[in-house]
Chain A
Amino acid sequence: MTDPNLSFLQVENLARAYPSPTGGESVTVFDHVNFHIHKGEFVCVTGHSGCGKSTILNILAGLDSATTGNVFMDGREVSGPSLDRGVIFQSHALMPWLTVLENVSFAVKSRWASWNKQKVRDHAMRYIELVGLLGAEHKKPSQLSGGMKQRVGIARAFSIEPKMLLMDEPFGALDALTRGVIQEELLKICAETQQTVFMITHDVDEAILLSDRIMLMSNGPHARIAEIVNNTLPRPRERSAIHKHPHYYLIRNHLVDFLVSRSKQFGALRDAPDAPSSPTVFDPADLIEPEPNVVPAPPVGKPHIHLVNA
């Protein structure tokens, strides 16, 4: 076991079973899910639909509960929703009867109930400015484009200064161009705030751009985290330049290979009695002998990744 003091978020032996709709045996969506996230780390999870990614996120958020297993954050067990964990929903989940400013202020007021109006407003406006929505603060969500709505969602989640941010495919519903712009903004904001992030995505390039580590989930039922990829691309990253790094295609091909073929094989392996119960780690740095001039050293100061033994 990893020392709980070392990692900020600790997920142990998580499993979730749903009662079968036809009666009969319940269906285990995922089990033996173990991972941890360090403070300031950006972790992406990807996998095919139905592997339980969103359920895991909801359990971390405290909105859903696991059948077995535990989640600890900052040394305390997660037993319900908390202001310590901000959530960005795919559907942005803005309240349509409130303006942009009121939506963010609602969150700020929830976090700091004793603040006066002016202080709440100033704080909310700071985060609206951060996501580039200054000037649109009095608009209703229905007057905003999809990208702007999601920016409000981001501003709202960041404004409560949570210890950890959970994102469920936040850009899934956006067009590719908008997505690119917001990804870069998110990258910048996360770098500024040193935010710890757990994010679900189906977009391989998004995962590579944003994350420090990428967790790959095998197909359900009985899904689990099959592999963990260390994203060795140096920061600061730029969308226009990262594909020139020698590790980029190593990582990308590895991810795509997994999603196309290995995720299924892993599912088949699961029926074997000696199925692997701890994920394998892929680190592109292990494959390439670093040539001093070409490959920059892995980012300094980033905690080295250890696996949780299941």
Chain B
Amino acid sequence: MKTRLSLSQKAGLLSLALFAAILLVWQLATLPEAKVVAADVDPEYAALMGGGTASSASSFPTPAAMAQTLWDKLSDPFYDNGPNDKGIGIQLAYSLARVLGGFFLAAVVAIPLGFVIGNSRVFYQAINPYVQLLKPISPLAWMPLALYTIKDASASAIFVIFICSLWPMLINTAHGVANVRRDWLDVSRTLEVNPLRKAFRVILPAAAPTILTGMRISMGIAWLVIVAAEMLVGGTGIGYFVWNEWNNLSLTNVLFAILMIGVVGMALDSVFGVLSKRVAYQE
């Protein structure tokens, strides 16, 4: 019997096979190794070196241990047992709040400013050197300055997100606005459309796909940066959680956090994917 599989079915099967292969390799790599204790070694010394028992579990979690952790952590994501023991949901919520806060502040600044730059050659040329200079700076480099001036760790993290989200949005907005098709501008000129209406009804929709691409890039970078920023500022958030669990030597939790960072990042990106589709137009 021959059944024809659709493209997505084939891809799905291959994905599953890959997943199984990864699990298998993982399982094999973390198999407890039987350690042969050399006969001439003092058993007490061997025990100190971690080889005393007949078999010792690797400190890297097995897939089963990982699954157990996933289940435990996800079945109770919002518990709060003091500063060093909070549910993953709470940690992620802190991180998301900082990212969204910094991101929206950046949008409020970058999109109007991008409009102005995109509309005026003079502004563009005046501001361009600053953008070119500030853009390549690692956002974390601003951290000491932020901590010194803002004097608040959480707000400093938001500031760092703000700085790193700013540039892609600013550059893309300016680019989108500057490249609105002449025809559409000519139409609005012949229709004597007032500047505000032109900005919102013609330029904004025309530039929206480019602007949204900028926002998507910004959001991606912001989610990358927040982990590092929270490792620095500490206290709360998924970045702090990762560092804290490293200090606890709980690789299972670190691995779990890594997975969660990926899941949330993917979700954020797909939100922008949906938004991009909504503002896209076909010429």
Chain A residues with CB under 8 Å of chain B are 61-63, 80-83, 85-87, 89, 91, 93, 95-98, 106-107, 110-111, 140-142, 160
Contacts and interface: CB of A to CB of B under 8 A. Distances in A.
B206 A63 contact: no
B183 A107 contact: no
B192 A89 contact: no
B205 A97 contact: yes
Given A89-B186, A140-B281, A142-B283, A95 B191 contact: no
A81 B205 contact: no
B126 to A, nearest CB: 25
Contacts of B181: 93
Nearest to A82: B192
30 contacts: A61-B190, A62-B189, A63-B189, A81-B186, A81-B189, A83-B190, A83-B191, A86-B190, A87-B186, A87-B187, A89-B183, A89-B186, A93-B181, A93-B184, A95-B187, A95-B202, A97-B205, A97-B208, A97-B281, A98-B205, A106-B191, A106-B201, A107-B191, A110-B188, A110-B191, A111-B191, A140-B281, A142-B281, A142-B282, A142-B283
Interface in B164-215: 181, 183-184, 186-193, 197, 201-202, 205-206, 208
A87 B192 CA distance: 12
A93 B192 contact: no
A95 B205 contact: yes
Interface centre among B191, B197, B281 (most CB of A within 10 A): B191
A146 B183 CA distance: 16
A107 B186 CA distance: 13
A73 to B, nearest CB: 13
B282 A89 contact: no
A95 B206 contact: yes
Given A110-B191, A110-B197, 18 more contacts: A81-B190, A82-B190, A85-B190, A87-B186, A87-B187, A87-B190, A89-B183, A93-B184, A93-B186, A95-B184, A95-B187, A95-B205, A95-B206, A97-B208, A107-B191, A110-B193, A141-B283, A142-B282
B146 to A, nearest CB: 39
- Range class of the B interface residue count: 20 to 34
A122 to B, nearest CB: 19
A85 B188 CA distance: 12
B206 to A, nearest CB: 7
For the complex of A and B, 6 pairs with smallest distance between CB atoms: A93-B183, A142-B282, A110-B191, A97-B281, A96-B281, A81-B189
B200 to A, nearest CB: 12
Nearest to A106: B201
Contacts of B183: 89, 91, 93
Contacts of A91: 183
A107 B179 CA distance: 22
B281 A93 contact: no
A62 B190 contact: yes
Contacts of A87: 186-187, 190
Contacts of A85: 190
A96 B208 CA distance: 12
A97 B191 CA distance: 18
Given A87-B186, A140-B282, A142-B282, A97 B206 contact: yes
A77 to B, nearest CB: 17
The listed residue with most A CB atoms (<10 A of its CB), out of B181, B192, B283, is B192
B274 to A, nearest CB: 17
A91 B185 CA distance: 13
A63 B279 CA distance: 29
Contacts of A89: 183, 186-187
A111 B187 CA distance: 13
Nearest to B192: A83
Contacts of B190: 61-63, 81-83, 85-87
Contacts of A63: 186, 189-190
A82 B191 CA distance: 6
A106 to B, nearest CB: 7
B36 to A, nearest CB: 72
Contacts of A160: 191
A95 B177 CA distance: 15
A97 to B, nearest CB: 4
Which of B187, B192, B197, B202 neighbours the largest number of chain A CB atoms within 10 Å of its CB? B187
A4 B205 CA distance: 43
Interface string B9-41: 000000000000000000000000000000000
A157 to B, nearest CB: 9
B150 to A, nearest CB: 41
A211 to B, nearest CB: 22
A62 B187 CA distance: 12
A96 B282 contact: yes
Nearest to B197: A110
Contacts of A93: 181, 183-184, 186-187
Q: For A61, A97, A107, A142, which residue has the most chain B Cβ atoms within 10 angstroms?
A: A97
Contacts of A62: 189-190
A116 B283 CA distance: 30
Contacts of B201: 106
A87 B189 CA distance: 10
Could you say which of A80, A86, A89, A93 has the most chain B C-beta atoms within 10 Å of its C-beta? Answer: A93
